[in-house]
């Protein structure tokens, strides 16, 4: 396969937020509710996106604080990062700052050296647990947007936005490579970028599953959350 069709993706986030569940859903179409702390696992899978075959190499990394020091430098060399939090656990979103800081430093170095910057997407996982939601969709979107990340909400259990999230990662990596190959303007590093606050029209589409207090959820109706 053409080297341009090989894409490396690191999945990171707090322990217990569902990183492994998301990864296994993509790779094996399998979901497990049992929590087994991950130190680091690697997987590969082929997907056809927009008529092109892509070989995805995924690294599912440690989320527990005691294991974060094991983050290898090679993890930071990935083409893309999927930063996962648990919508029922506010601390899991705060924890993403730890990973974001390292990724931002890597991004600045790549931009300084004229290399393709990494793609970053934030995933609010466990969106099937609407009755336990602690982080509203607009909060997650605003957090991601301020840091120049894409945003999706996912459910590994109900297979919501799993394929779509990885397809979005692939498309953004392909676009970043295309811009770099054609000598496009260097992007502004995330830590120095200033983005305007969200306007009402930028908030999450009303087609997402009802949040707490909004009425009954119809999982069969909702399969996609608008991404940014």
Per-residue pLDDT, 72? 58
Q: Tell me the mean pLDDT in the region 57-74.
A: 65
For residues 110 and 77, give the distance between their C-alpha atoms in angstroms, rounded to a whole number. 10
pLDDT in tens, 124-144: 999 999 999 999 999 999 999
DSSP 76-139: GG-SEEEEEEETT-HHHHHHHHHHHHHHHHHHHHHHHTTPPPPEEEEEEE-TT-GGG--S-HHH
* Four-residue CA torsion sign, 202, 121, 118, 6: negative
Q: Which residues pair with 124 in a beta bridge?
A: 85, 153
Instruction: Give the mean pLDDT of the chain.
Output: 80
DSSP 8-state class, residue 160? B
This prediction has a pTM of 0.80
pLDDT in tens, 180-219: 998 766 566 665 444 444 443 444 443 344 444 444 444 4
Percentage of the chain surpassing pLDDT 90? 58
Per-residue pLDDT, 141? 97
Structure tokens at 152: 């999706």
Per-residue pLDDT, 67? 52
CATH 3.30.1310.10: does it fit domain 3-202? no
Every domain of the chain and the residues it spans: 3-202
């Amino acid at each position: 396969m053409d080297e341009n069709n090989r894409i490396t993706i690191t999945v990171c986030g707090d322990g217990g937020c569902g990183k492994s569940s998301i990864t296994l859903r993509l790779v094996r179409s399998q979901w497990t509710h049992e929590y087994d702390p991950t130190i680091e696992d690697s997987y590969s899978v082929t997907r056809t996106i927009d008529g092109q075959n892509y070989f995805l190499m995924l690294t599912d990394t440690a989320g527990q604080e005691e294991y974060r020091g094991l983050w290898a430098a090679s993890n930071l060399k990935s083409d893309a990062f999927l930063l996962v939090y648990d919508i029922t656990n506010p601390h899991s979103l705060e924890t993403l700052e730890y990973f974001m800081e390292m990724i931002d430093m890597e991004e600045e170095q790549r931009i300084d050296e004229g290399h393709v910057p990494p793609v970053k997407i934030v995933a609010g996982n466990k969106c099937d647990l609407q009755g336990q939601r602690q982080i509203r969709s607009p909060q997650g979107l605003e957090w991601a947007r301020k840091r120049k990340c894409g945003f999706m909400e996912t459910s590994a259990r109900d297979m919501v936005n799993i394929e779509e999230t990885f397809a979005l990662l692939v498309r953004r990596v392909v676009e970043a490579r295309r811009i770099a190959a054609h000598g496009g303007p260097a992007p502004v590093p995330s830590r120095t970028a200033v983005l305007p606050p969200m306007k009402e029209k930028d908030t999450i589409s009303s087609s997402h599953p009802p949040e707490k207090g909004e009425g009954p959820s119809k999982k069969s109706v909702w399969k996609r959350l608008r991404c940014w």
